Amino acid sequence: MTFPVTEHTVKTDRHTTGYLACGPQDGPLLIFCHGWPELSLSWRHQLPAFAALGFRCVAPDMRGYGRSSTYTRHEDFAQELIVQDMLELLASLGRDKAVWIGHDWGSPVVWNMAAHHPDKTVGVASLCVPYLSAGFTLDSVIPLVDRSVYPESEHPAGQWDYQLFYEESFDKARASFEGNIRNTVKALFRKGNPDGVGKPARTAGVRKAGGWLGGQAWPDLPRDADVLTESDLEAYTAALTRNGFFGPDSWYMNHKANGAYAKRAPNGGKLAMPVLFLHGLYDQTCETVHSKLAEPMRRDCADLTEVVVKSGHWMAQEKPVDVNVALARWLAAKLPDYWKKP
């Protein structure tokens, strides 16, 4: 049976979340959280596939994106507030728990949900960004940099240099993305390149260059049809044009607050529920296959499944079949009772 993808909104006194939904109303709940600079649309290949398997699938526009509220202060984009948005969404669906699935900045959200609200979490899955119980902060990731690729003398912050650029030159970073948003989207959403493995990511030299492209607007590259259709490109462009990059970029401006929040997780942040992590083999920035970035996760997750997907960073869009197979296998193996329950 095929289910339509439908648009919904939940409004509370503190926040509005727009979301897409698909699948039987009473199906076991999967909530998909997108990253930077994406939309609920980023899960377009997952929602109908898992709806057809009997799941109720929900993908919100995260805070600052799409049809959800955005704000004017950096501190309004801290993880603790975003987790609160997701708790409100869950309550509005009349559910007390879900399997949480995240990618990019959506991954810290689902990891925080699992760490701080294990009673609301049946299982948790992440694409590209591994679990760090101390929080996904610069203090956590820089010590895990692969120094064979990023010598400390040349790249002190490794591939995370671009995150420091946000802190030091926020307006300049934002302006480079907003200069021509359609070109920005086309330049960002590209498939993985196997030739980049073992080489420094572009993100490692952003401060030295004075911006992503030396502060220039993004060039007019051809659209990568393996990641985006023309209508996907138009949808991303329209949403990012409407809201701008202040909100999306502000997710990078809360390292201190996010680290403090992580420290308050019960059980030292250790996760007992089933966990799935999908490594992007050609993801240069979130490089987890050869570096130590995934090691803290192996220590802190009691029931961890790992799968390597031959993709770049935009995994759910570049390799939807591989992602869907890995998720479905994990759900069947680790959460068979949840799958069967209406």
Helix runs in the chain, H state only = 47-52, 79-92, 106-116, 138-141, 161-168, 170-178, 181-188, 206-209, 230-243, 246-250, 255-263, 295-300, 315-318, 320-334, 336-340
Per-residue pLDDT for 342 more than 70? no
pLDDT tens per residue, range 210-263: 998 887 778 999 999 999 999 999 999 999 999 999 999 999 999 999 999 999
How many Cα atoms are found within 13 Å in the side-chain-facing hemisphere of 41?
A: 19
pLDDT value of position 151: 98
Whether residue 9 contacts residue 17, with contact meaning beta carbons closer than 8 Å, is answered with yes
252 is catalytic: yes
pTM of the predicted model over 0.95: yes
Sorting pLDDT into bands at 50, 70 and 90, what band is 14?
Answer: very high
Element (H, E) at 101: strand 98-103
CATH number at residue 205: 3.40.50.1820
Helix runs in 64-147, H state only = 79-92, 106-116, 138-141
8 is catalytic: no
How far apart, in whole angstroms, are the C-alpha atoms of residue 125 and residue 108? 11
> Is 1 a domain residue?
no
Average pLDDT over residues 13-22: 98
Residue 186: give the domain boundaries.
Answer: 6-340
104 is catalytic: yes
Instruction: Name the active-site residue from 19, 252, 261, 338.
Output: 252
CA-based nearest residue to 113, from 124, 103, 104: 124
> Is 265 a domain residue?
yes
User: Distances from the Cα of 207 to the Cαs of 161, 204, 246, 307, in angstroms?
Assistant: 7, 8, 19, 33
Please state the φ and ψ torsions of residue 175, each to the nearest 5 degrees.
-60, -35
pLDDT value of position 213: 84
> Is 236 a domain residue?
yes
Per-residue pLDDT for 341 more than 80? no
Q: What is the DSSP string of 197-214?
A: TTS--GGGGHHHHTSTTT
Cα R_g (the chain), whole angstroms: 19
pLDDT value of position 340: 79
> Is 29 a domain residue?
yes
Per-residue pLDDT for 56 more than 80? yes
pLDDT value of position 287: 97
pLDDT tens per residue, range 306-321: 999 999 999 999 999 9
Instruction: Name the active-site residue from 104, 224, 249, 283.
Output: 104
Please count the structural domains in the chain. 1
Instruction: Name the active-site residue from 76, 116, 313, 338.
Output: 313
> Is 50 a domain residue?
yes
> Is 272 a domain residue?
yes
pLDDT tens per residue, range 197-206: 999 999 999 9
Average pLDDT over residues 124-142: 98
